[in-house]
Amino acid sequence: MAAVLLFHGDRLRGGFLGVDLFFVLSGYLITALLLVEDRDRGRVDLGQFWLRRARRLLPAACALVVVVAAFNRFVADPGQWTAIRGDGLATLGYVANWHTIFAGGAYGADLVARSPLEHTWSLAIEEQFYLVWPLVVVGLLALRRSPRTIVLAAGAVVATSTIALVGGSLAGISQNTLYLGTHTRMASIGFGALVAAWEAGRTEHRSPRLGRTLEVVAPTAFLLLLVAWCTVGLHDQLLYRGGLTACGLAAAVVIWSVVQPGGGPLDRVLSVRPLRALGLISYGLYLWHWPLFVLLDEDRTGLHGWVLFTVRAVASLTVAWVSYHLLEQPIRRSSWGGAKVARRSVVAIGLAAVALVASAVGAPPNVFASAGSGPTFTRAAGQAPVLALYGDSVAYLLGLEGLAPRADALHVSVVDAARLGCEPLGGVTAARDGLGEPVWDKAWIDCIDTLPTYRSGLSQRPDVAVIFFGGVQWDARIAGSWRHPCDAAYRDLYRSRMVLAIRRAGAGGIPVVVVKGPPVISDRISRLKGMDDGARRNGCLWQSLAPELPQLGARVVDLDAHLCSSETSCDATGADASNRADGIHFRGAAARDLATWLVPEILRVVRR
C-alpha cells in the first residue's frame, strides 16, 4: 500500500505495481478460505461466502461513493459531473475497469482533471474474481475432492492471462486495455490461488526443503519487486511482454515464504508492528487515499513535493483509521443475519446511486466526450464576420468557453472546428513525453489531413481562419529516431505540416491568422511528463515557422507577448496561473476575458 501511495503522490515511478501484490494476496486469501471451509465442513456455502464479502467491502465503498457524490456537486468542475457520475455507478457495479476502457479513458493519462474514482479499476477486477472463482473451486471440488485440481485450474488462469497479455501487446492492443482488462490482469490473482491450493494439498509431513528454498529465494524476489517499483514506468513495453506476470510471480514467492510454518527472515521483516497496522487498514486506505489526493492538490493547499505528499498521506491514514474502526469493523462484527445483510446492502447501493445521479443534475454537456464530432457554430446577431477556429484542445476550449459566449458582444460568429488531441504531427509520427513514455493515442491525432472535410462541412464560408496550437510539444519519432522539437528534422516536419494547415484553412482566399500561444510550463507537466523546457520547445518551433508566414500571407497574433512578460512568467506559479489553472487550457472566466482581447486583435491584424 505504501508503494501505491508513493506512486499516486508522484514519489515512486513504479509504485503502481504494488497493486499486483494486492492481487496475489487476494487470490491466496480467498482460495485458502474456500478450501479451509470445504475441509472443515465438507462443503462451501457460497451464499454465506458472498454475504461475508459484502459485509466486508460494501460499507466503506458505499460511503466513499456518497462522499465523492458530494465532491462532484460542490467541488468538481461542472464539466466533470457527468463523468464522475458514470465512474461512481461503475464503481458500485464493480465494472470500473471496463467502464474506463469503453469510455475511452486511460489510467493516469488525464492532465486536466483527475477522477476521484480513477483507482477503483483494481477493486472491480478483485470483485469479479470473488464472484467467479468460488464457482470454479466448488465445481472442481465436486468433481474431484482434491486441492490439486485447484492448483491446475490456477495454473491455467496464470497461463491464459499471460498469453492474453503478451499476445495482446504483440498484436498492438492498447496498453490501456491490457493494463485494465480483467483477462490480462488475472495472472497475479492466479498465482495467489495456486499458492493457497498447493499449501492446502500438502501432507501433514511437510518437507523442510521447500521452506529452506523459499527462505533463500524470497528475499531475492522481494528485492526484484523493490527494483521494479523504483524503475519501471507505466508505459514500459516490458510490462506488457511478461513483466506484469513476472512481478506477480515475485509477489507470490514472497507471500509463499511468509505463510510457511515458522516463517523466516522476510516474515520477521514484514511482520513489524507498523506494517501490520498498515495491513489492517489497507482496504480503507486504498479506497480513501486517491479522492483525498485529488482534493488536496497543489492549487488548494499551496504545497508541493514531499510536504504535499506528507499532508496527503497523513490525511489518508487518518480517514482510513476512522473508516476501519467506526464503519468497517462494527458492521463486520455485527450480529446481522444473511437476509438483513442482503437487504441493507441493496439499500446502501441504491442510496449511493441516487446520490451520484443527484450530483450530476443540470450538468453541462461534457466537452471532452463530445468534442471532435464536427464543427460547432455560434451565430451573432446581424452581419457579423465569421471566425473559423482550428487547432487543439487549447483552441477548442477557448472557442467553446470564451469566444462562443462572447460572440454576440464582440459582434462575430464563431465556428469552433478545433479538436481535442489535434497536433500538427499527430497521426504522422509516434509521440512520447520527456520520460520516454508513449503519448496516449487520443492525445495525438491528425486533424490537418481532415481539415478540408471540416471546411466542406461548414454551413457558411468563414471570413477569417484562426489556427491555434497551444498544447504540449511532445517528442516525435521521425526517420526511425526520437527527436526533440528543437531538432532540425522535427522543425522541418512541423513547418511543412503547419504550412499545409495554413494553405488548407485559407483555401479560396480566406485570411489566415496564426496565434502564437504561450509555452506550456506547468509544474504538473514538468513533474509527471518530464517536460520542463516548454519555453525552449515552443521557441524552436516558432522560429522555424515564423519566416514562412509572410510568404503565405498569414497574419500573427502574439498571445505569448500579451500574457507573458518573460519565459518564466507563464508557469504554474507565475502571472499566467490565473488564466490556465491546469497549466494548459484557458477555461471559464479566463477564457471569456481572453476572448475579449483576442477577437478584436484578430480582426485588427486582418484589416491591417
Q: Shortest CA distance to 443 belongs to which of 532, 501, 529?
A: 529
Residue 29 CA to residue 570 CA, distance in Å, equals 52
263 or 111: which leads in pLDDT: 263
The mean pLDDT of 465-486, rounded to a whole number, is: 92
441 contacts 365 by C-beta, under 8 angstroms = no
What pTM, to 2 d.p., does this model score?
Answer: 0.75
- How many other C-beta atoms can be found within 10 angstroms of the C-beta atom of residue 508? 7
Mean pLDDT, rounded, for 41-49: 89
**What's the chain's average pLDDT?**
86
Q: Which residue has the cell 464539466?
A: 79
Contact 119, 290 (CB under 8 A): yes
Percent of the chain with pLDDT over 70: 88
**Residues 6 or more apart whose Cβ sits within 8 Å of residue 108:** 16, 118, 234
Residue 415 and residue 386 in contact, taking contact as beta carbons nearer than 8 Å: yes
Q: How many residues does the chain have?
A: 608
| Structure confidence by residue, pLDDT tens digits, 569-603 | 454 333 444 567 677 888 888 899 999 999 999 99
Band (pLDDT 50/70/90 cuts) for residue 567 is very low
Spatial separation of the C-alpha atoms in residues 576 and 61, rounded to whole Å = 39
Location of each CATH 3.40.50.1110 domain in the chain: 371-607
Q: Which residues of 192-229 are buried (b: 16+ CB within 10 A; e: fewer)?
A: bbbbbbbbbeeeeeeeeeebeebbeebbebbebbeebb
> 301 or 525, which is more confident?
301
Q: pLDDT band at 29, cuts 50/70/90? A: very high
Per-residue pLDDT, 26? 94
What per-residue confidence (pLDDT) applies to 262? 67
194-232 per-position pLDDT tens digit: 999 998 877 544 566 777 787 888 899 999 999 999 999
Cα-Cα-Cα-Cα dihedral of 433, 544, 395, 583, to 10°?
A: 50
CB 327 within 8 A of CB 59: yes
The set of residues, in sequence order, having a beta carbon less than 8 Å from that of 112 and lying 6+ positions away, is 368, 582, 584, 585
Provide the pLDDT for residue 204: 47
CA angle at 507 for the pair 501 and 513, rounded to the nearest 5°: 55
The CA distance from 284 to 64, in Å, is 9
Degrees to nearest 5, angle at CA 350 with 345 and 353: 125
Pairing label, strands 386-391, 431-432: unpaired
Of 117, 265, 237, 84, nearest in space to 170 by CA: 237
Contact 105, 232 (CB under 8 A): no
Confidence of residue 564 (pLDDT cuts 50, 70, 90): confident
The residue with greater pLDDT, 573 or 505, is: 505
pLDDT at 576: 46
Better pLDDT: 97 or 367: 97
- Sheet with strand 386-391: strands edge to edge: 376-378, 413-416, 386-391, 464-468, 512-516, 555-558
Q: Are 402 and 116 in contact (CB under 8 A)?
A: no
- pLDDT for residue 566 is more than 60: no
Nearest residue to 341 via CA among 333, 92, 132: 333
The whole-number pLDDT of residue 284 equals 94
Assigned C-alpha cell, 502: 495554413
According to DSSP, the β-strands at 481-483 and 431-432 are: unpaired
Residue 458, by phi and psi: left (phi above 0), alpha (psi -120 to 50) or beta?
Answer: beta
Q: Determine the topology of domain 371-607 in CATH.
A: Rossmann fold (3.40.50)
Q: Which cell numbers hold the place of 242?
A: 511478461
Is residue 51 within 8 A of residue 342, CB to CB? The reply is yes
pLDDT at 206: 59
What's the burial of 10, exposed, middle or buried (CB within 10 Å: 0-12/13-18/19+)?
middle
376 versus 345: which is more confidently predicted?
A: 345
- Looking at residue 161, what is its pLDDT? 97
Q: ∠ CA 146-40-26 to the nearest 5 degrees? A: 70
pLDDT band at 98 (very low <50, low <70, confident <90, very high): very high
- pLDDT category, 80, cuts 50, 70, 90? confident
